[in-house]
């Protein structure tokens, strides 16, 4: 028997406590409208609320996620009008956090209630005693996503979830597990939640290991053994540093984000983490799972992996291979649509101005086609 406790504790302080069992036992009971958001580092219009989830399955300090809300006209727009907007939840990638205020500004003007989430051990949600961005099983993020999604579904009714890079993989596999549970148990809490999932938007999702065949063999066959014997073995190599240099305004980019939360050089990663990512990719590529909802996949038109910063870094994906995303797209959902954005960088919405304007237009048009007149003009 599942014990359901009063869960909206300490909301006045900008913190509450929830878990997945409580959510699935009583879906749509707890609403984002009940949460108290305190001023966020992104400035005017942005608020943050922390949701405590309890013990970390990886044995570090208790985990939480940070939910960021953009509501610039909170004094002018009545609650019933704001919560009548469909919600759009953005999920960050690896070594990342939600900082894209320009994305929030754009989609707010299109009629959405925009939210971002910093997942456990990432960005705002990190706390002492935790290894940055570390999980041994990517499915652990399902708890963060399910709770956040349920809060938005209860408040707004209609929710689209957008994930970038590793976040794109995570939201895809979360949706497939939610759909599988809904299909197996049509009267379950999972089924109730899945009915409120309008669509997914996957921004350069990590749908394939972007390495040569010998490296993929090591990751898929050898590393699972290593992970059990040496769970704190660090991974060799690291993310392409030219990408960070191309983004941040202190180097050669446009964006001024918090380098403590999204450093130019990635934090140390461990073998079990990559084993977990590879396991999710294998599940997705098996073709046995589906999100069950319309899914938009945004990609650049090519990749460029040189570690030296050049103009090519700005107009190609310097992290992942779009070709791998195209290969897997038909397996994601029967309702998958691919949009190739020429000259886009890895995070499509951080591309150069003309390119990201096209990405915004494409995404907004697709959402309107999917949902008709669900948003304002």
In a domain, 345, yes or no: yes
At residue 9, the pLDDT reads: 52
In 3D, which of 307, 298, 363 has the Cα closest to residue 164? 298
Q: What is the residue range of 19's domain?
A: 11-210+290-375
At residue 376, the pLDDT reads: 41
In a domain, 217, yes or no: no
In a domain, 336, yes or no: yes
At residue 156, the pLDDT reads: 97
In a domain, 218, yes or no: no
Count the helices and strands in the chain (H runs, E runs): 13, 10
At residue 77, the pLDDT reads: 72
Report the predicted TM-score, pTM, of the whole model to 2 decimal places: 0.94
Number of domains in the chain: 1
In a domain, 241, yes or no: no
What does the alpha-carbon distance between residue 194 and residue 182 come to, in Å, rounded to a whole number? 7
At residue 13, the pLDDT reads: 65
Q: What is the CATH number of the domain that holds 46?
A: 3.40.50.1820
In a domain, 252, yes or no: no
Element (H, E) at 169: helix 166-184
In a domain, 271, yes or no: no
In a domain, 5, yes or no: no
At residue 124, the pLDDT reads: 99
Residue 203 and residue 164 in contact, taking contact as beta carbons nearer than 8 Å? yes
What does the alpha-carbon distance between residue 264 and residue 10 come to, in Å, rounded to a whole number? 36
Full pLDDT tens readout for the chain, 377 residues: 222 333 445 555 699 999 999 999 999 999 999 999 999 999 999 999 999 999 999 999 999 999 999 999 766 677 789 999 999 999 999 999 999 999 999 999 999 999 999 999 999 999 999 999 999 999 999 999 999 999 999 999 999 999 999 999 999 999 999 999 999 999 999 999 999 999 999 999 999 999 999 999 999 999 999 999 999 999 987 778 999 999 999 999 999 999 999 999 888 999 999 999 999 999 999 999 999 999 999 999 999 999 899 999 999 999 999 999 999 999 999 999 999 999 999 999 999 999 999 999 999 999 999 987 444 43
């Amino acid at each position: 028997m599942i014990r359901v406790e009063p869960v909206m504790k300490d909301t006045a302080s900008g913190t509450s406590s929830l878990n997945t069992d409580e959510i699935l036992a009583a879906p749509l009971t707890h609403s984002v409208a009940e949460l108290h958001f305190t001023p966020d580092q992104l400035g005017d219009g942005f608020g943050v609320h922390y949701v405590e989830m309890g013990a970390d399955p990886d044995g570090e300090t208790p985990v939480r996620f940070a939910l960021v809300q953009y509501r610039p006209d909170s004094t002018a727009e009545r609650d019933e009008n704001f919560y009548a907007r469909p919600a759009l939840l953005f999920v960050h990638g690896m070594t990342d956090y939600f900082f894209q205020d320009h994305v929030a500004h754009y989609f707010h003007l299109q009629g959405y209630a925009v939210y971002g989430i910093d997942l456990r051990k990432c960005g705002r949600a990190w706390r002492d005693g935790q290894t940055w961005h570390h999980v041994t099983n990517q499915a652990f993020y399902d708890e963060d996503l399910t709770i956040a999604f349920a809060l938005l579904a209860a408040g707004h009714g209609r929710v689209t979830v957008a994930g970038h890079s590793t976040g794109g993989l995570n939201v895809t596999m979360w949706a497939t597990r939610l759909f599988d549970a809904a299909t197996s148990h049509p009267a379950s809490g999972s089924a109730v939640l899945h009915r409120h999932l309008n669509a997914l938007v996957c921004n350069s999702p990590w749908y394939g290991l972007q390495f040569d065949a010998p490296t993929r063999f090591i990751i898929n066959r050898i590393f699972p053994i290593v992970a059990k014997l040496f769970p704190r073995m660090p991974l060799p190599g690291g993310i392409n540093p030219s990408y960070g240099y191309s983004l941040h305004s202190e180097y050669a980019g446009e964006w001024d984000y918090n380098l403590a939360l999204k450093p130019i050089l990635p934090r140390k990663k461990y073998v079990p983490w990559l084993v977990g990512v590879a396991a999710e990719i294998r599940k997705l590529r098996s073709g046995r799972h589906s999100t069950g909802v319309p899914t938009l996949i945004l990609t650049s038109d090519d990749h460029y992996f040189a570690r030296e910063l050049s103009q090519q870094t700005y107009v190609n994906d310097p992290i992942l291979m779009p070709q791998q995303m195209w290969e897997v797209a038909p397996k994601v959902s029967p309702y998958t649509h691919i949009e190739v954005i020429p000259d886009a960088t890895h995070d499509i919405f951080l591309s150069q101005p003309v390119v990201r304007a096209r990405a915004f237009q494409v995404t907004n048009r697709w959402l309107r086609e999917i949902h008709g007149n669900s948003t304002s003009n």
